[in-house]
Amino acid sequence: MSNISIDNNSPISIYQQIANQIKTDINKKILTPGDKIPSEKWFVDNLGVARGTVRKAISLLVKEGTLEKVQGKGTFVTKPQISYPFAQELVSYAETMKAKNINFSTQVIEKKIVKPTKEIQKKLKIDKEQEVLYLVRLRSVEDTPAILTFN
């Protein structure tokens, strides 16, 4: 953990300041997936805050999916949850990954111009003489293959 300091004059609650610092350490990769965060006692002793305040900060991050509590072992940083925000505005894969500070890559495996199938013609409302681009892409997250797309 980086040095956490609490600003008692801040309009931001103490538990939120603690949660924000943990998230900052995760975004800066000071804490990475699988890392154990310090104990509640560590936060109490080093920050001079109440145990309930620390629990509230940790509970908030557990609820968000940023941290995971393991009975008898401690609290750990989780792997980033990747979800596509369909309920919100439509954004690209790259925009989603960048917004979550996740390292990603896209590798084009196959790219060619083809005549569309009947199904594609119908979906795109084009005739059979129009050509379309066919792509096969491998998308990786943190150097691990995650998605294979056929477009």
3-state secondary structure of 108: strand
AA identity, residue 24: T
CB 73 within 8 A of CB 31: no
**DSSP type of residue 151:** -
More confident residue, 102 or 131: 131
Instruction: Tell me if 34 sits within 8 A of 77, measured CB to CB.
Output: yes
Are 128 and 121 in contact by the 8 Å Cβ rule? The answer is yes
Fill in the amino acid letter for 63. K
CA distances to 18, 61, 75, 87 from 65, rounded to whole Å, are 16, 6, 12, 19
- pLDDT recorded at residue 101: 77
- With residues binned 3-state (H G I as helix, E B as strand, rest as coil), the percentages for the chain, rounded to 5, are 35, 25, 40
User: Looking at residue 60, what is its pLDDT?
Assistant: 93
Average pLDDT of the residues in 109-127: 88
57-82 confidence digits (pLDDT tens): 999 999 988 999 999 899 999 987 65
β-strand 74-77 against 104-114: which pairing, if any? unpaired
CA angle 93, 33, 62 (to 5 degrees): 90
Q: Residue range 25-47: average pLDDT?
A: 91
CA distances from 15 to 52, 55, 57, 64, 123 (A): 9, 8, 5, 14, 51
The pLDDT of residue 58 is 94
Distance CA 31, CA 105 (A): 22
